[in-house]
Amino acid sequence: MRIGVAGATNWGLTLAWLLARDDREILAFARTPGEAGDVDKQRGLARLPELHLPPAVHVITPEEVDTVDALVVAIPVRSLREFLPRMPFARNVPVLTGTKGFESQSHLRVSEVLADLGWTDVSVLSGPTLAREVLRGLPAAAVVASSQPGSATFWQEALASPLFRTYSSEDLVGVEVAGAYKNVVAIAAGASSGLGFGANSLAGIMTRGLAEMSRLGMAMGAQQTTFIGLAGVGDLAATCFSPLSRNHQLGERLARGDGPAEALRNVGEVVEGAATAPVMVELGTQLGVELPIAAQVSAVMAGEATVLDAMNALLSRSLKREGI
């Protein structure tokens, strides 16, 4: 079987590494011949020293092959419409997206963008799966969501290993909302850590962030149980607490005095939560859902508030009964 992986990114190459077994040929698609040559020569990425690509993984550009049996998408949301049309493959092959976010202009989920580009069989992967830990062989678990049970099973079995456990779900909306929203909450959690506020504060942000993502997801038609599963509280906990998370790192840098643009540059990689926050706020407004953490993260990233302003705004909100 030949599986393509769109994106020579940290997560894209980690997924290529995971899939490279059982006589599979894995084609990791880079943006340019130069990038493909560099990654292939290094058999990995300098910024990801845990990665050592096995011989079954070939790093090329999408124009170098005309067919695959399945495709994995692991590129930033902002690059989807630029990069994916370069894939010369039939649009009915099974597709799995590991990209977490919403398109800024259209407010579409990633699976909806892929459908808009012509792919007809799209599944979504999410869960607490920090790339560096996966590559170290540390145990992890994830969920594959699809409206087609056969496709969820295909990807579930393709990825599963003794140290990488996979579950299936039919709740595409919930898994995608959770995967996108946790990045926003992780920025706030990182800011709390950067301010030295301690575990109590970070746990409070995470818990209230879970309530926000649940409210928004259910307003969009998701199942409430998804948010207490791997895609919800599982991924949220890993991203909020781990310094390996780029979104957490961004929040820390903002708390320590970097401006939004400077903080993004210093992280050095795409931080999806930064672009996702204003989209969540706009969706919340349209659906009548209150999202105070997303609103404050959006204000900080727009330069309209400092981290301390945002924290004070959250702490000074009117008292209310706890609940989703």
pLDDT in tens, 244-275: 999 999 999 999 999 999 999 999 999 999 99
Mean local confidence (pLDDT), 230-246: 97
Give the CA count within 13 Å in the CB-facing half-sphere of 182. 29
Bridge-based pairing of strands 122-126 and 140-146 is antiparallel
CA distance 72 to 5: 5
- CATH of the domain spanning 2-170: 3.40.50.720
Question: Domain locations in the chain?
Answer: 2-170, 173-315
Q: Which of 41, 100, 182, 320 is catalytic?
A: 182
Asked if the domains at 2-170 and 173-315 fall in one CATH topology, the answer is no
- Summarised one tens digit per residue, pLDDT across range 279-294 is 999 999 999 999 999 9
Mean local confidence (pLDDT), 19-41: 96
User: Taking a C-beta distance cutoff of 8 angstroms, is the pair 144, 155 a contact?
Assistant: yes
Q: What is the pTM of this model?
A: 0.95
pLDDT band at 320 (very low <50, low <70, confident <90, very high): confident
**Who wins on pLDDT, 281 or 320?**
281
State the average pLDDT for the chain: 96
Which residues are 71's β-sheet partners? 4, 95
Q: Which H or E element spans position 6?
A: strand 2-6
Q: Which residues contact 196 (CB under 8 A, 6 or more apart)?
A: none
Q: Establish whether 182 is a catalytic residue.
A: yes
Give the CA count within 13 Å in the CB-facing half-sphere of 190. 30
Mean local confidence (pLDDT), 183-195: 97
Q: What's the burial of 76, exposed, middle or buried (CB within 10 Å: 0-12/13-18/19+)?
A: middle
- Summarised one tens digit per residue, pLDDT across range 55-112 is 999 999 999 999 999 999 999 999 999 999 999 999 999 999 999 999 999 999 999 9
CA distance 74 to 13: 9
Q: Which of 284, 300, 313 is nearest to 190 (CA)?
A: 300
Q: Which of 2, 45, 44, 47 is nearest to 26 (CA)?
A: 2
CA distance 70 to 154: 10
Task: Judge whether residue 122 has pLDDT over 80.
Answer: yes
Task: Judge whether residue 145 has pLDDT over 80.
Answer: yes
- Percent of the chain, pLDDT > 70? 100
CATH class name, domain 173-315: mainly alpha
- Would you put residue 300 in left (φ > 0), alpha (ψ -120 to 50) or beta? alpha
User: Which pLDDT value is given to residue 319?
Assistant: 87
Task: Judge whether residue 324 has pLDDT over 90.
Answer: no
CA distance 318 to 101: 30
Place of tokens 């769109």: 6
DSSP conformation letters of 172-196: HHHHHHHHHHHHHHHHHHHHHHHTT
Task: Judge whether residue 323 has pLDDT over 90.
Answer: no
Task: Judge whether residue 321 has pLDDT over 90.
Answer: no
